[in-house]
């Protein structure tokens, strides 16, 4: 049996349709592969933004009087803003009732169906940040000039290794 294709002539409409469908599917899968592997996803955009931030900080910190050694844009786990969740798939924090209702249905049109894809969290801030706050034996934070300077030095250790 001889294989027929676009250069050999067609015997019937069915083989032409099969060839067209197969070619169309191949083109469609090639397009999807190009889009997927070209970096059109959340992680790629986050990494690109991180690289931009590092470049800007490096550019602006070249003065010899204030170098930023070992600088990072990563959030310290002691911070209220730290999130232990995956940076590209963070769960949805609690929302105020009106915003939540509007998010689900806007102008009587259904909202985005993927809102719940990453799960939910009851926290808006890091639930463990208070465990890093230096409290006295009564559980009270003593704010004075000595503790303020100690806290500042501790915070700066991650930025300037000469203070460690």
Residue that has been written with the tokens 């609690």 in this structure: 94
Q: Which helix (H) or strand (E) holds 8?
A: none
Average pLDDT rounded to a whole number, residues 14-19: 72
Is 96 in the same domain as 109? Answer: yes
Summarised one tens digit per residue, pLDDT across range 23-56 is 888 888 787 777 777 667 788 889 999 999 999 9
Cβ–Cβ < 8 Å for 126, 82: yes
Tell me, yes or no, whether 103 lies in a domain.
Answer: yes
Tell me, yes or no, whether 42 lies in a domain.
Answer: no
Query: In degrees, to the nearest 5, what angle opens at C-alpha 46 toward C-alphas 43 and 48?
Result: 105
Could you give the number of structural domains in the chain?
2
Summarised one tens digit per residue, pLDDT across range 68-127 is 877 888 898 888 999 999 999 999 989 888 888 888 888 888 888 888 899 999 999 998
Cβ–Cβ < 8 Å for 92, 124: no
> 51 is written with which tokens?
């690289």
Instruction: Count CB-CB contacts under 10 A for residue 58.
Output: 11
Tell me, yes or no, whether 147 lies in a domain.
Answer: yes
Host domain of residue 135: 75-82+126-164
Question: Cβ contacts of residue 115 below 8 Å, gap of 6+?
Answer: 92, 103, 104
Q: Is the overall model pTM greater than 0.85, yes or no?
A: no
């Amino acid at each position: 049996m001889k294989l027929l294709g676009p250069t050999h002539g067609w015997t019937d409409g069915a083989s032409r349709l099969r060839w067209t469908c197969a070619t169309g599917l191949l083109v469609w899968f090639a397009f999807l592969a190009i889009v997927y592997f070209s970096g059109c996803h959340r992680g790629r955009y986050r990494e690109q933004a991180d690289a931009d931030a590092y470049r800007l900080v490096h550019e602006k910190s070249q003065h010899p009087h204030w170098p930023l050694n070992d600088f990072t844009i990563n959030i310290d786990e002691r911070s209220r803003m730290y999130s232990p969740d995956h940076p590209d798939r963070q769960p949805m924090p609690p929302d105020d009732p009106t915003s939540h209702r509007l998010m689900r249905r806007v102008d009587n049109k259904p909202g985005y169906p993927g809102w719940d894809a990453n799960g939910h969290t009851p926290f808006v801030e890091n639930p463990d940040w208070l465990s890093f706050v230096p409290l006295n034996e009564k559980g009270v934070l003593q704010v004075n000039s000595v503790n303020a300077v100690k806290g500042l030095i501790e915070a700066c250790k991650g930025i300037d290794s000469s203070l460690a």
